[in-house]
Chains A and B, each alone.
Chain A
Amino acid sequence: GAGVSQSPRYKVAKRGQDVALRCDPISGHVSLFWYQQALGQGPEFLTYFQNEAQLDKSGLPSDRFFAERPEGSVSTLKIQRTQQEDSAVYLCASSLVTSGSPYEQYFGPGTRLTVT
């Protein structure tokens, strides 16, 4: 079946521009996570949704970062007034939430954002 998809795969933005990154989770997956992966580093947690509710946004690095999942399926991560330090790969993952589930997270291919 289809996995997690993300678009665009690559995005180049001039400093100060706003960007929107899209994630399509696996159908039926209740939970959705966003991670940021800087070059040469491991992914770091940004925010987490269960259905349409944003349960944890403690990892968002500044108030320029905003995420939404209005219908509990597709999610968008928006970055306003991009800065060079925002350059990274943005990963989306989804998982089921069922009793006894190991809550395995399935990752998308990521969006590589380069801010020039």
Chain B
Amino acid sequence: GNSVTQMEGPVTLSEEAFLTINCTYTATGYPSLFWYVQYPGEGLQLLLKATKADDKGSNKGFEATYRKETTSFHLEKGSVQVSDSAVYFCALRTEGNTPLVFGKGTRLSVIA
């Protein structure tokens, strides 16, 4: 079946540090890949997405590249801010309007 594995947290970084959150997936077919973010007290928000191999999704300084050969979609940001503190979820969806399959989430805390 389809599944997503992401690095366990919590991750604590100082402001302006480099961030990587690893995500790998197993899927039948050709999935679309997503990163969602959940800020404290708020709902899930789509951060970025990629729909085919070698696509790079980017938003708010975050980036992730769809790597089919390594079945990975690692999230990176060059310089994190305190406001980036949240829980980040990697997810996939197979073709069509199908349910999302999520990883367990990684909590990021950025300290000033």
A interface list, Cβ under 8 A from B: 3-4, 31, 33, 35, 40-45, 48, 50, 56, 59, 91, 93, 95, 97, 102-110
Please tell me which one of the listed residues B89, B96, B100, B103 contacts residue A105 in the complex, with CB atoms under 8 A apart: B100
Whether A31 touches B97, Cβ cut-off 8 Å, given contacts A102-B49, A104-B46, A107-B44, is yes
Q: Which chain B positions have C-beta within 8 A of A4?
A: 43
CB-based nearest A residue for B45: A107
B87 to chain A, nearest CB (A): 9
Q: Are A91 and B43 in contact (CB under 8 A)?
A: yes
B-to-A contact residues, CB < 8 Å: 4, 32, 36, 42-46, 49, 51, 89, 91, 93, 96-97, 99-105
The docked-state distance in angstroms from the alpha carbon of A93 to that of B32 is 17
CB of A29, distance to nearest CB on chain B (Å): 11
Asked if A41 and B104 make an inter-chain contact with CB atoms under 8 angstroms apart, the answer reads yes
Which of A50, A56, A91, A105 has the most B CB atoms < 10 Å from its CB?
A105
Contacts of A56 in B (CB 8 A): 99
Contact of B99 among A48, A102, A106, A110 (CB under 8 A): A48
Choose among B4, B51, B97, B100 the residue with the greatest number of A CB atoms under 10 Å from its CB.
Answer: B97
User: B97, A108: Cβ atoms under 8 Å?
Assistant: no
Q: Which residue of A lies closest to B4 (CB)?
A: A42
Given the interface pairs A41-B105, A48-B99, the reply to whether A103 lies near B93 with Cβ below 8 Å is: yes
Q: Which residues of B contact A45 (CB under 8 A)?
A: 99-101
Selected contact of B44 from candidates A31, A48, A91, A103, CB within 8 Å? A91
Q: Would A42 and B89 be within 8 Å (CB), given that A102-B32, A102-B51 are in contact?
A: yes
Given contacts A42-B104, A42-B105, A102-B32, contact A95 B43 (CB under 8 A): no
User: Could you list 14 examples of A-B contacts with CB < 8 Å?
Assistant: A3-B43, A4-B43, A31-B97, A33-B99, A40-B105, A41-B105, A45-B100, A45-B101, A50-B97, A91-B44, A93-B44, A102-B49, A103-B93, A105-B46
- Considering the complex, give the chain A residue whose CB is closest to the CB of B90: A42
Per the bound structure, the CA–CA distance linking A91 and B105 in Å amounts to: 15
Contact partner, B100, options A3, A43, A109, A110, Cβ 8 Å: A43
Residues of the A chain whose Cβ atoms lie less than 8 Å from the Cβ of B51: 102
